[in-house]
Amino acid sequence: MKDRVMFETNVPVTAALAYPDGTKVEGRFGDQVMYSLSDERVMYVPPVVRDKLVEIGIHQNEPFSICKAERRNGNRRFIEWVVKRLESEQPGTLKTENGDDPKSAAIPSDTDTAASCVAGIGSNGKSNGKGVEARNGSKTPGASLHAALLLSIDAAIAAEHYASAKGLSVRFGSEDLRAMALSLFIQHARDGGVR
């Protein structure tokens, strides 16, 4: 039996479709679309995700990121599915923001999904900016933790892509991301980065 992708709120998942089309199935909460993924997993998503995959033109074996993002409109909370295309890598290569070798810097060039899923972006697409920097421009502990969370997600996505290019299946869960973020935060604090 294939592993099923479990979507945690505000945690992006990297995937690639094994087949271009999904299968419509009845779920507990209405219609869903089942997709087989190229890494032997299966995912069940609402039809709106299928529409977004078609809209941005995701093809078979093309990497993309999907996030079940929680949004707020006043006191009302709702779920918005964020689907983004990831830059494809040639087998054995990984592009980073500054063009470094992935062994020295494992940060993917497309960090928008991680940022939009974790940063508390409102329904208007703009960051609320709370707790990111103090008024005098110095970094606050909240800003440092926020940055550590984003970096851990980016690093995990990059590592998964790199492992996939090498023929390995590596998956990071929410506990892994939390541990990485806390390690980065603590090291940043030790280096005097948090005031």
Cα–Cα distance measured from residue 126 to residue 67, given in angstroms and rounded to the nearest whole number: 17
pLDDT tens for each residue of 146-170:
777 777 887 788 777 777 777 778 8
Q: Map tokens 């008024």 to a residue.
A: 135
Residue 125: predicted pLDDT: 34
Domains of the chain, by residue range, sit at 13-190
pLDDT tens for each residue of 23-76:
999 878 789 999 999 999 999 999 999 999 999 999 999 999 999 999 998 899
Cα–Cα distance measured from residue 169 to residue 184, given in angstroms and rounded to the nearest whole number: 24
Is residue 107 over pLDDT 70? no
Is residue 189 over pLDDT 70? yes
Q: Which run of H or of E encompasses 182?
A: helix 174-190
